[in-house]
Structure 1
Amino acid sequence: MARRVEFVDTSVLCNLLGIPGKCQDRERVAAELKRKEAARDCDLLLPVTAVIETGNHIAQLPDGRQRRTHAEIFAKVLQSVVEGKAPWALNAVEWDAAHLSALIAGGTTGSSLVEHACNRLGCGDLNILIERDRYLARTSGVEAGVWTLDELLRSYV
């Protein structure tokens, strides 16, 4: 049986961090994280994309106090990743010509970046799929998915 890995999408991370306007499913996501941790049925990986997008959502909060509070929480979560104490590990990704070429081609989705953009799948969501594809290409004995609340992204998982 292959080991299961799930990439944590921005939608999940924002819910776990309680980002205002981005955390409508916070209780459900927190319960699912507890279930995943207790079951130990998959390893969670934090894609670079989710880190960048979550940081952008925090930076765009209109209230300065909320920006600071959530930026501090986010920094602590990222530090816990560095220290190996988070429920997920950081996905090591090489941002190189091969990665960019895969992004432009749309990876294994069957559609290009341009086609995805026209169909409203954002570059961040597509990049999570590329991170997953490249992870699978360098790792054996693993099946990988994406833990997401986004219906469009879920259709490619």
Structure 2
Amino acid sequence: MRKVLLIDTSLLCVWLQVPGKEIAGNNKWNFERVNQKIQAEIAKGTTLVLPLASVIETGNHIAQAKTNTINKYPTAQKFAEIITYAADETTPWAAFSEQIVLWQAEALKNLAAQFPTQAVQETSMGDASIVILGKHYHQKGFYVEFLTDDDGLKSQEPPPPQQPTRRSSRRKA
């Protein structure tokens, strides 16, 4: 079964080792743990997805990191490489252009219609867009996993697609 791993901002920041964002969540995600997870998924043939929300938010975290320019530049450069890989659909990254369906008029109206309820439940616009992106891949038959330290976002992960059941053939005597 094909699988996609959508990488949320917090763990993307940990993986990139953004200054001040080296550890995330109550589960204490650190670089080693995030890197091990991502490398294991790559080894299994999982496609990595870089949601637009994660791109924008991670870029903001890098730019606003409380560090000097010399320390910030290598992180920004590594992030720029990942964005380029996604833009070029370089394995293991999914084509970034796949997400354009989420930003067309009807999809934006759907996001807007759902957002007031999600906001009351403290779901950010970024997380709401990741949930919709997850549903998009799920509808295409992918097993979808959110790589996140956010329990609220993780709880909105689509269920694994149903495996076909095998029936044994019976011979008539």
Q: TM-score range by the shorter chain?
A: 0.7 to 0.9
| Structure 2 residue 125 is matched with structure 1 residue 123 | yes
- Root-mean-square deviation (CA, aligned residues, Å) is 2.1
Using CA pairs below 8 Å that are at least 6 residues apart, which structure has the higher relative contact order?
Answer: 1
Where does residue 36 of structure 1 map in the other structure? 41
Distance (Å, rounded) in 1 between the aligned partners of 2:92 and 2:113: 32
Distance (Å, rounded) in 2 between the aligned partners of 1:86 and 1:52: 22
Q: 1:97 to 1:85 in 2, by over 3 A?
A: closer
Where does residue 142 of structure 1 map in the other structure? 142
Aligned length: 147
TM-score for both structures, normalised by structure 1: 0.80
1:93 alignment partner, SS class: helix
Distance (Å, rounded) in 2 between the aligned partners of 1:77 and 1:3: 21
Q: 1:142 to 1:80 in 2, by over 3 A?
A: closer
Q: CA-to-partner distance for each residue in 1:102-129, whole Å, 9 max, x for gaps? A: 21233xxxxxx12322232211011111
Among the aligned pairs, what percent are the same residue?
34
Where does residue 8 of structure 2 map in the other structure? 9
Contact preservation (8 Å) 1:46, 1:89:
yes
Where does residue 55 of structure 2 map in the other structure? 51
Q: CA-to-partner distance for each residue in 1:20-77, whole Å, 9 max, x for gaps? A: 222212110011112112233x322222221111111111113241333322221122
Where does residue 21 of structure 2 map in the other structure? 22
Contact preservation (8 Å) 2:7, 2:146:
yes
- Structure 1: where are the runs of 5+ without partners? 107-112
